[in-house]
Structure 1
Amino acid sequence: MMMQERTYKDAEGAILFDAAVSPQVGHGWFAPDYWRAQGALRTQAGGRGGVAIVAAPVGECVLRHYRRGGLVAALMGDRYLWTGADRTRPFKEFRLLAEITRLGLPGPAVVAARYCRRGMVYSADLITRRIADAQTLAECLAAERLDGELAEEVGALVARFHRAGVWHADLNAHNVLVASDELYLIDFDRGRVRTPATGWQQANLRRLRRSLCKLGAASRGETAFEETIWQPLLYRYQRTLDA
């Protein structure tokens, strides 16, 4: 189904949505309380980006509220500096996810994005379709399901995005989903399409490696991690990148 990008604007801000998925999307869609009142709020969690699973008319969706991380979070919280509608975090991620879908890459299907502007700052939200029956790579690692075969699949996944020039700003084990049908990359906030180049591609891989090691993938020793996880991942990555 081809995307039909539409924008709705009012005094609160603006909503960018795919009219091919839903002909109308209102501000209520971005409020967990709206879904709770309808008995459609499945789960809600906090963290850097508040996330809720909702049973929307278009199917189960993930509602994510953008929040800052690090030291700036204490000052700005969930507010971002206004520099124009097309440069807002949710609108940029919406369009990147649309491009990922167009390229046939396994990422979440985007439904809608919203910003609410208050003077020189704005807050933001994003709705994507939920990828069913999936675990993060971090959860697979914790359950001791990360072996050489799965590592190779991860390598192939990352290579497909890199070959298309898609840069993930935070490539870590929490942003790789392992589903029954295939693997997916999620959370493309601050991501973008770049000219394929070894420098940023290798930096992306190093970030993923640090994430895996931080979560205990090398707990049995660096040599074991290299032989059983990292080298199989790199082998399949390079083969896919060169294909």
Structure 2
Amino acid sequence: MPSIHPTASSDIVFISPNCKGVTKDWFKPDYWQAQQKLLKTATGRGTVWFVDSTLGPLVLRQYRRGGLVAKVNRFHFMTQPLSATRPYQELELLEFMHAKGLHVPQPVAGMVRRKGLFYQAWLLTKQIPNAEDLFNVLQHTALNAADWQNIGATIKQLHAHNVYHSDLNCHNIMLDDQQKVWLIDFDKCYRDPEQRHWQTHNLERLKRSFDKESSRQSTFHFSEANWQQLLAGYHAD
């Protein structure tokens, strides 16, 4: 469980074990840029900052809202008890998965900034070295059967620990330069030991993301045979 460090009347930082030295400044991109430690910035559904810290390369992201509400309110959430906030829950889940040896980012710290009835939130995790998301990989590389089976087996390990990934898609799966598979982005994910067919729904969601990108990209190395290879890895003993 992350340790809680109130830093001001409105800021609360919570830090994973063995991640000493984190302060609220670590959640400010300008702080890293002033030290020439801001390695790069990536944009997609939100901005992500890659920074060079005393703990090694880290990934910083700010939580943002989705859907139509994001047009008028991108970063503010209704206030909740700390344990119910999005960064606290994601950090706690990452700590559980990391302790179980699952292939997920190592958690570092989170911060909640409260103001009136709302809060903003940030999360720091360790960067996965030499890794690229599967969406980008498949635009320039065709994977072999063993790679697809490994993807399926990695998802199976997640499900075996009763972890429901609320947004399992080809953007949230990564491959490093050793072909090791990683799963990322556990916002709004949780453990659910009840067998309510959510594992099947997770896989169906992933399949839809592959099909969607196949129809949108001029080059995207994915086929029904690849999907069957992934399922073979998932269902292997």
TM-score (normalizing by structure 1): 0.90
Following TM superposition, by how much is the alpha carbon of 1:215 offset from its aligned partner in structure 2, in angstroms? Answer: 1.2
CA distance in structure 2 between the aligned counterparts of 1:74 and 1:30, rounded to whole angstroms: 24
Name the counterpart of 1:185.
Answer: 183
1:66-91 C-alpha deviation (Å, 9 max, x unpaired) = 11121111132111111211100000
> Which of 158, 167, 171 is 2:164 aligned to?
167
Is contact 2:169–2:205 with CA below 8 Å preserved after alignment? yes
Instruction: Give the aligned length.
Output: 232
Is contact 1:48–1:68 with CA below 8 Å preserved after alignment? no
CA distance in structure 2 between the aligned counterparts of 1:84 and 1:63, rounded to whole angstroms: 23
Letter in 2 for 1:117: R
- CA 1:217–1:152: 2 relative to 1, 3 Å: farther
Letter in 2 for 1:143: H
Is contact 2:13–2:110 with CA below 8 Å preserved after alignment? yes
Runs ≥4 residues deviating over 6 A: 217-220
1:80-127 C-alpha deviation (Å, 9 max, x unpaired) = 111211100000000000000111111000100001011111110000
| 1:230-241 aligned within 5 A | 230-239=227-236
Following TM superposition, by how much is the alpha carbon of 1:164 offset from its aligned partner in structure 2, in angstroms? Answer: 0.9
- CA 1:117–1:85: 2 relative to 1, 3 Å: same
TM-score (normalizing by structure 2): 0.92
Is contact 1:14–1:114 with CA below 8 Å preserved after alignment? yes
Letter in 2 for 1:12: S
- CA 1:196–1:155: 2 relative to 1, 3 Å: farther
Following TM superposition, by how much is the alpha carbon of 1:52 offset from its aligned partner in structure 2, in angstroms? Answer: 0.3
> Which of 44, 49, 62 is 2:46 aligned to?
49
Name the counterpart of 1:200.
Answer: 198
Following TM superposition, by how much is the alpha carbon of 1:217 offset from its aligned partner in structure 2, in angstroms? Answer: 7.4
CA distance in structure 2 between the aligned counterparts of 1:195 and 1:20, rounded to whole angstroms: 29
Q: Percent identity over the alignment?
A: 34
| RMSD over equivalenced CA pairs, Å | 1.9
- CA 1:198–1:146: 2 relative to 1, 3 Å: farther
Following TM superposition, by how much is the alpha carbon of 1:199 offset from its aligned partner in structure 2, in angstroms? Answer: 1.1
Name the counterpart of 1:216.
Answer: 214
CA distance in structure 2 between the aligned counterparts of 1:147 and 1:186, rounded to whole angstroms: 22
Letter in 1 for 2:143: L
CA distance in structure 1 between the aligned counterparts of 2:70 and 2:45, rounded to whole angstroms: 9
Letter in 1 for 2:145: G
Letter in 2 for 1:47: G
| 1:89-238 aligned within 5 A | 89-181=86-178, 182-195=180-193, 197=195, 199-216=197-214, 225-226=223-224, 228-238=225-235
CA distance in structure 2 between the aligned counterparts of 1:145 and 1:135, rounded to whole angstroms: 14
CA distance in structure 1 between the aligned counterparts of 2:24 and 2:43, rounded to whole angstroms: 20
**Structure 2 portions without partners, runs of 5+:** none
Name the counterpart of 1:16.
Answer: 14
Letter in 1 for 2:207: R
CA distance in structure 2 between the aligned counterparts of 1:25 and 1:234, rounded to whole angstroms: 41
Name the counterpart of 1:38.
Answer: 35
Following TM superposition, by how much is the alpha carbon of 1:20 offset from its aligned partner in structure 2, in angstroms? Answer: 1.2
Is contact 2:2–2:91 with CA below 8 Å preserved after alignment? no
CA distance in structure 2 between the aligned counterparts of 1:144 and 1:47, rounded to whole angstroms: 21
Following TM superposition, by how much is the alpha carbon of 1:148 offset from its aligned partner in structure 2, in angstroms? Answer: 2.7
